[in-house]
Chains A and B, each alone.
Chain A
Amino acid sequence: MIFKLLKMLLFRSRQKQPQVEAKNQANVSSSDTISPLLKSKLAVLKERMGTSSDFIIREISDTSSGPYPFAISYIDGLIDQGLLADLMESLTSDFGNSFQGDVDPAIWFKDKLPVGNLNVVSSEKQMVNSILEGRVLVMIHGVQEAYAVSILGGQRRGVEEPTSQTVVRGPKEGFTEDISTNTAMLRRRIRSADLSFESRIVGKYTQTKISVAYIKGIANPDVVKEVLSRIDMIQTDSILESGYIEEFIQDGVRSTFPTIYNTERPDTVAGGLLEGLVAILVDGTPFTLIAPVTFFRFIVSSEDYYQRYDLATFLRIIRFVSFFVALLLPSIYIATTTFHQEMLPTTLLIALAAQRESTPLPALLEALVMEITFEVIREAGVRMPRAIGPAISIVGALVLGQAAVQAGIVSAAMVIVVSFTAISNFVLPAINMAAAVRLLRFILMFLAGTMGLFGILAGLIPILAHLASLQSFGVPYLMPLAPFNKNNMKDVIYRAPWWKMKTRPVMIGDNNEVRQSANHNSFSEQATDHNKDPMR
């Protein structure tokens, strides 16, 4: 019941989705055919696009350079100006020079126009959409179709190092806001014809491009189908970030635990794809979603796979410890100092008691005040302009930390507990998992403050039960532990060396289990006929 309460308080239910499809359809629908007359085409465009200042129509009615007047139309800023000049050049001179009256202009366009990607557009809706997507629409008087030329360009952020998930060893490039750059980054890592992208457009107004990536033959086709169908079910007017998609399609809608992983690292996505996961790339954000994922993926960093396995195992254990510290340390501190003093070693108890002598607040309240203070400082640190960063650290560390202890308002031990908890929280590589831990920490603190260790257990057991009940696209959330799977355990608490991980994780990459041939061992194990020492 407590957990239900917590869920009620914390999670918004999935938003109601009014049936907007019919409206949506009605708005966009228009006649299927377009008039061959240039003037009527332009009239349609002008009517649909209005008088937006970034919408540009260039009409060339001079027939001296060619037999037909034509017009091009595009949105300023979405196209490459240099390529546009080339296009204009060929349209004005080549088209005029080489076009003979007896040739169909459509054939000329298909054969001669010096661009890579050319679409034939045959409806008014397509005309508008191709302009909005950033293509240049070429319309020729007397030709039924229009031609959408893709010369995408404009200002975009370049490929930079990911800021949210940094590594010491490993690729330094991160996804950008541009989906085609992102798909290219994946393609560069997995040069296989089996890597496929399925595209969708979501959002009535934003018309956001979404690409679902998976590797044919590894990913479970049912999961791919499920992901696509859930995306197709989304009816919203805007998708500005992958977080929108995540909330729409995730399984545990009322859970604080994430069931979809997000990352801005192409290597993490590629690793996931190779294990049989499905990635969802969203135009306009560097954060790419991966599903289905289990709890343990949120404790794993992509660097674990680049470093030696022994170090990776050690770091994972550190992260597991940090997970529990971040979740439980303040509540255990509260419980032991207010209910179970006999559990503390005598000298520690005396030291804590001495610090508490002059503190006015009960331990629970003291911890809450400190935790909330920290959350405020943290939020301020994230939101404020970079230039005033040092001010926050001075106020936070000196004024609040040291002064509060010296004034005897907060005990030094509490400051240690809160700061260690906060630092442990940052150890978790996935921010959304860290956020779940942050929220649950407060609930557990309340329980510890009212019922001691009994309260902590009364909180932990429902949390565990909840975790065990979660699923991510059909995969149990605590997968290799519950249900237990020996094979998957190779990459959970410890990471086995690569030559030991011969198969893909069960339940995810079942389709194509073998990662490396079964009798392929480490170099030293198979090196009987190799000379291990080339110096000899």
Chain B
Amino acid sequence: MRTISLGIVSLMFMLILSGCWNRTELNELGIVVATGLDYMDGEWIISYQVIVPSNMASGNGGQSGSASQPAVHVFSVNSKSIHQALNLSNLEHPRRVYVAHNKVVVIGRNAAERGIGELMDYYFRNTEPRETVKMALTEGQAIEVLNKLSPPEKLPGASLSDMLSKESDQVSAYPIISVFNFALKMNSDSKGVGVPVIDLAGERTPGREEELKSEDVLKQTQQPLKMKITKLAIFNHDRLVGFLDYKESYGLSWITGEVHQTEISFPCSKEARTQEHAGFTVSSSKTQITPRKSGSHFAMQVKVKVKGNLTESTCQQDLTNPKVIKELEAQIDQQIEDYIMTGWSAMKKLKTDAAGLADKIHRKYPSDWRRIKENWQDELAQMDLDVQVQTTIKRTGLILKSFEQSEQE
């Protein structure tokens, strides 16, 4: 009995004295929403955008949230390795930097040109950073994006992340990419990855940039500078090789089948006047890429099936006529094919397989792949694209005739 009770008491002390070994109260955490990655003079510059919780919540009884302080605090740490920055951050930050809730990692151009393999290693080796973090690139320094507020949202990092995913869902020109997918594509046969580029749109002057760092900017209805997704950066393996503009990147999205919902405007007919345009909203699309052997080279057959609704029309044709609908569908086919070819040629110019074609060939013709693997870049330059688009207009909207048309009658 004595030994049992002694055992129990010692167990109790073990429980208490073990002292909650990795317990962290919420108010000891610096929750990071966005991370920036820059490279300069042989050192990484990691920037953290940390939430200031008391300026975030609305219904808090504790502090009056009236102190005019932005909801985030940004600081940078120089270090030789990415993970060490977390450690060194405590030289200048009172809280433990907590990156599990990081939403977006912004890569500066210098770092992208140097290569970001270390970032992948950091994400995959450690448990706290998550591989689902979205990636973005900026033309200047990453910290320049992080230290700007992004009205109307309070958290710029969350705003960036939401913008990237909304764009990917609604416009589909710059498909969203997570660290996980980046690593997959980077290490695939094609090695090409596209990352959306975020920049400050508007005339950049030092004064305007300063303004965007202050909380006062939240009081204005229109900001002089604004975060915007401007283009797509193409990486070959872990290194930046070039950029695609809106139209090229959009075409690439059609090839890779990453179009979810988007709107296409197209001329009513070949002969139609330029202002006679119609709008078509894609509700579903499917892209099928099949490698075809032609001689010793390869050709790619791209079959795109698109379904959607007519959402705008100034056309003179009679929409009740099925033939007219067929005509319009052909116009849309033409438009999409145009996008695809633009994207294709831009991609070929960068000599990077951002559409993942190499993997398709490897899967279908494994033995041929071994042959062409070594000079894949030349092979890509000689490749032809056979595009077949098939569009179906499901609905023409609530009205049939355009207003212009009814006026003429």
Contact = CB atoms under 8 A, between A and B. Distances in A.
Contact of A353 (B8, B11, B12, B51): B51
Nearest to A450: B20
Contacts of B100: 341-342
Interface stretch (A287-295, A357-365, A376-384, A424-432): A357-365
Interface residues of A, number: 37
Interface string B15-31: 11011101111110101
Given A5-B12, A359-B62, A342 B101 contact: yes
A350 interface: yes
Contacts of B8: 1, 4-5, 8
Nearest to B27: A356
Nearest to B71: A350
B66 interface: no
B126 to A, nearest CB: 12
B59 A350 contact: no
Contacts of B60: 354-355, 357, 412
Given A412-B61, A446-B15, A353 B24 contact: no
Interface string A92-109: 000000000000000000
Interface residues of B, number: 37
A353 B15 contact: no
A341 B57 contact: no
Interface string A447-458: 101111000000
A341 B100 CA distance: 8
**Best-surrounded residue of B5, B20, B22, B51 (most CB of chain A within 10 A):** B20
A353 B5 contact: no
B54 A357 contact: yes
Given A342-B100, A354-B54, A408 B158 contact: no
A356 B61 contact: no
**Best-surrounded residue of A8, A447, A451 (most CB of chain B within 10 A):** A451
A4 B98 CA distance: 38
B231 interface: no
Nearest to B102: A346
Interface in A69-118: none
B101 A357 contact: no
Given A4-B8, A5-B11, A450-B15, A356 B101 contact: no
Contact of B61 (A406, A450, A451): A406
A339 B31 CA distance: 14
A351 interface: yes
B152 interface: no
B56 to A, nearest CB: 5
A2 B53 CA distance: 38
B26 A352 contact: yes
Contacts of A363: 25-26
A337 interface: yes
B22 A346 contact: no
A346 B158 contact: yes
Contacts, number: 107
B7 interface: yes
**Best-surrounded residue of A351, A357, A363, A412 (most CB of chain B within 10 A):** A357
B54 to A, nearest CB: 5
Contacts of A338: 20, 23-26
A20 to B, nearest CB: 26
B26 A408 contact: no
B57 A2 contact: no
B253 to A, nearest CB: 28
B63 interface: yes
Nearest to B157: A346
Nearest to B19: A450
A354 B25 CA distance: 12
B128 interface: yes
Contacts of A405: 61
A315 interface: no
Contact of B26 (A5, A346, A353, A364): A353
A4 B56 CA distance: 46
B57 to A, nearest CB: 3
A354 B5 contact: no
B185 interface: no
A253 interface: no
A457 B20 CA distance: 16
B103 interface: yes
B128 A357 contact: no
Interface string B171-189: 0000000000000000000
Contacts of A355: 57, 60-62
Contact of A354 (B4, B53, B101): B53
A417 interface: no
Contact of A2 (B5, B11, B128): B11
Nearest to A340: B100
A349 interface: yes
A406 B23 CA distance: 26
Contacts of B128: 342
B15 A341 contact: no
Interface string A287-314: 0000000000000000000000000000
24 contacts: A1-B11, A337-B26, A338-B23, A338-B25, A341-B24, A341-B31, A341-B100, A342-B100, A342-B101, A349-B26, A349-B101, A350-B56, A351-B56, A351-B57, A353-B27, A353-B29, A353-B31, A354-B54, A354-B56, A355-B61, A357-B54, A362-B23, A363-B26, A452-B23
Given A338-B25, A349-B31, 4 more contacts: A1-B8, A5-B8, A355-B60, A408-B63
